[in-house]
Amino acid sequence: MSEEMNDVEVKTFEVGEKVTGQVTKVEEKQVIVHISDSKLDGIIPISELSSLHIEKASDAVAEGEELELEVLKVEEEALILSKRKVDAEKSWEDLEKRYNDGEVFEAEIKDVVKGGLVVDLGVRGFVPASLVEAFFVEDFSDYKGKTMTFKIVELDKEKNRLILSHKAVVEEEKGKQKNELLDSLKAGEVLDGTVQRITDFGAFVDIGGVDGLVHISQLSYEHVEKPSDVVAEGQQVKVKVLSVDRDNERISLSIKETLPGPWDQIGEKAPKGTVLEGTVRRLVSYGAFVEVFPGVEGLVHISQIAHKHIGTPHEVLKEGEQVKVKVLEANEEEQRLSLSIKDLLEKEEEIPTDYELPEESKGFQLGEMIGDQLKNLNK
């Protein structure tokens, strides 16, 4: 075909027109295509091959590939074409639907740049560093080539702005898991968990994507001054679900109730007659409660405190005092322990009521005896 005929045919195309072309040659900085239903060739500059920066044309297309293109310029003997514009136009339509639907989709990380990651979705998508993960990442170099899930969080076709987030996907998934877990949890259930945080009033335990609180009073049967004395962050623990408040997303847990109870096998730990050491915890009008094992208090009835008669336990005991006690009775079922302090004390000497005077004194009156003693003193 002559140059004139070529020129005529070229002029039948207009800027913005869509054409189909087959790649006939891939050069370093441009691609030559043959326009379908014509005898013309077109040129795609490397800058019009992809929405991303590429070093060589072969990174984007291969010889023999069929492409949908848009006419950028009509030159004398060739058309300057764009693959990027057609891809972008198609992509924006699809991306707007994904954005409106809140769709989660997969995409490959094409590049790591200052401030975040770059994804090719027919349009350049940017993932700011703060939206990559739900945790802080110092170095993103390993992310190139990785396929991840994303949601579109910002879309502006006019400004060619597309912002993606993987963090939003993670948090949404966590939210779903949390709701599912809250719905499935039942009071009384025993679960495995991991201690996440320790506070003055207890410990927060992760039980599979949601945290529950083990109050300080539920950490142990023993008295706990500081939660950190009993548990550590990262520690694996068994917990019992006490209650679930779905509306406020609050879960109350107990470690204490998964442990052997302090009264378990009390009959074996404290059989009748056993002597134990304990601490006086409470004094009441009818006796004293003495803690002999963590969480186990036994009653020393007022009649079992001393051999002599006492009006109140306060006369001989004080709270916090260490005492020795003897087990009188242990009842595991009723969680009752009867103790005695008196049985471990020596009985005080008492003057018997049937005491008689010595034989030699029987002929004297008591008054006479005292009188004689007074005379001796006055001498």
How does pLDDT run across 265-287, given as a tens digit for each residue?
888 888 999 999 999 999 999 99
Neighbours of 244 (CB within 10 A): 21
Surface-to-core class of residue 291, CB atoms within 10 Å of its CB (0-12 exposed, 13-18 middle, 19+ buried)? middle
More reliable by pLDDT, 341 or 9: 341
Encode burial over 99-134: b for 16+ CB neighbours within 10 A, e otherwise.
eeeeeeeebebbebeeebbbbbbbbbbbbebebbee
Q: Say if residue 141's pLDDT is above 70.
A: yes
Residue 167 — φ and ψ, nearest 5°?
-55, -40
Q: Say if residue 173's pLDDT is above 70.
A: yes
Query: Using 50, 70 and 90 to split pLDDT, how confident is the model at 264?
Result: confident
Q: Say if residue 361's pLDDT is above 50.
A: no
Contact 152/107 with Cβ under 8 angstroms? no
Contact 135/101 with Cβ under 8 angstroms? no
Instruction: Determine the average pLDDT of the residues in 213-238.
Output: 91
Which value, in Å, is the radius of gyration of the alpha carbons in the chain? 46
Q: Tell me, what's the pLDDT at 41?
A: 87
How far apart CA 248 and CA 213 sit, in angstroms, is: 13
Share of the chain above pLDDT 70, in %: 88
Q: Tell me, what's the pLDDT at 366?
A: 44
The number of residues in the chain equals 379
Q: Say if residue 38's pLDDT is above 70.
A: yes
Instruction: Determine the average pLDDT of the residues in 200-223.
Output: 90
Q: Tell me, what's the pLDDT at 265?
A: 80
Instruction: Determine the average pLDDT of the residues in 54-83.
Output: 87
Query: Using 50, 70 and 90 to split pLDDT, how confident is the model at 89?
Result: confident
Contact 83/44 with Cβ under 8 angstroms? yes
Range among 34-38, 173-177, 209-213, 310-314 rated most confident: 310-314
Q: Tell me, what's the pLDDT at 254?
A: 95
Q: Tell me, what's the pLDDT at 1?
A: 40
Domain with CATH 2.40.50.140 in the chain: 3-82, 87-170, 185-258, 266-344
Q: Give first-to-last CA distance, the chain, whole Å.
A: 168
CATH topology for 266-344 is OB fold (Dihydrolipoamide Acetyltransferase, E2P) (2.40.50)
* CA torsion through residues 257, 290, 299, 330, sign: positive
Q: Say if residue 250's pLDDT is above 80.
A: yes
Calculated CA dihedral for residues 166, 170, 172, 173, nearest 10 degrees: 140
CATH topology for 87-170 is OB fold (Dihydrolipoamide Acetyltransferase, E2P) (2.40.50)
Residue 181 — φ and ψ, nearest 5°?
-65, -45
Q: Tell me, what's the pLDDT at 317?
A: 94
More reliable by pLDDT, 221 or 43: 43
Q: Tell me, what's the pLDDT at 246?
A: 84
Closest Cα partner for 151 from 162, 166, 161?
166
Query: Using 50, 70 and 90 to split pLDDT, how confident is the model at 288?
Result: very high
CATH class of 3-82: mainly beta
Q: Tell me, what's the pLDDT at 268?
A: 85
Q: Say if residue 354's pLDDT is above 70.
A: no
Instruction: Report the mean per-residue pLDDT for the chain.
Output: 85
The label of the residue with tokens 């009006």 reads 311
The distance of Cα 314 from the centroid of its chain, to the nearest Å, equals 48
CATH class of 185-258: mainly beta
